[in-house]
């Protein structure tokens, strides 16, 4: 799923936080939609949860949660296609240009624990085809 549009159907806390994040909302308290607040069985060390909202203690905690969530959400697809990792990181990064804190950076750090992100990137660069009509300076 490209991360350039807010999700229309929010199924998980991760989807909710991602939607909140890509819309540029910097609040650390997020109201829960009714369908999520009813069925939550979650152990979360990096946020507090009550029946109506979740609250992150810091931007860093929110961003770490989001990076972990993106990693878990994309694990199956990306293991088959390692370039998917770079696509996910790029889509997140587009929404955080200028931020001092980086979900994309945290995401790549998590990935690097299981896969060599430098080899994935080098492979992607090596396979990249420059279109003939593209001007290279």
The terminus-to-terminus CA distance of the chain in angstroms comes to 33
User: Tens digits of per-residue pLDDT, 26-83?
Assistant: 889 998 887 766 555 565 677 888 778 889 999 999 999 999 999 998 888 777 788 8
All structural domains of the chain with their residue ranges? 13-127
Q: pLDDT > 90: what percent of the chain? A: 26
Q: Given this model, what pLDDT does residue 37 score?
A: 60
Q: Using an 8 Å Cβ cutoff, are 95 and 137 in contact? A: no
- Count other Cβ atoms within 10 Å, centred on residue 81: 10
Long-range contacts of 35-42 (CB under 8 A, 24+ apart): 36/10, 36/12, 40/13, 42/13
């Amino acid at each position: 799923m490209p991360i350039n549009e807010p999700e229309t159907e929010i199924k998980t806390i991760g989807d909710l936080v991602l939607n909140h994040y890509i819309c540029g909302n910097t609040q650390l308290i997020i109201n829960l939609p009714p369908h999520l607040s009813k069925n939550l069985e979650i152990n979360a060390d990096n946020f507090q949860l009550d029946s109506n909202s979740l609250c992150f203690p810091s931007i860093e905690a929110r961003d770490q949660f989001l990076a972990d969530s993106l990693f878990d959400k994309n694990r199956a697809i990306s293991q088959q296609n390692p370039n998917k990792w770079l696509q996910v990181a790029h889509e997140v990064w587009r929404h955080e240009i200028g931020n001092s804190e980086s979900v994309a950076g945290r995401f790549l750090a998590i990935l690097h624990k299981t896969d060599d992100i430098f080899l994935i990137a080098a492979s992607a660069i090596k396979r990249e085809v420059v279109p003939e009509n593209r001007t290279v300076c």
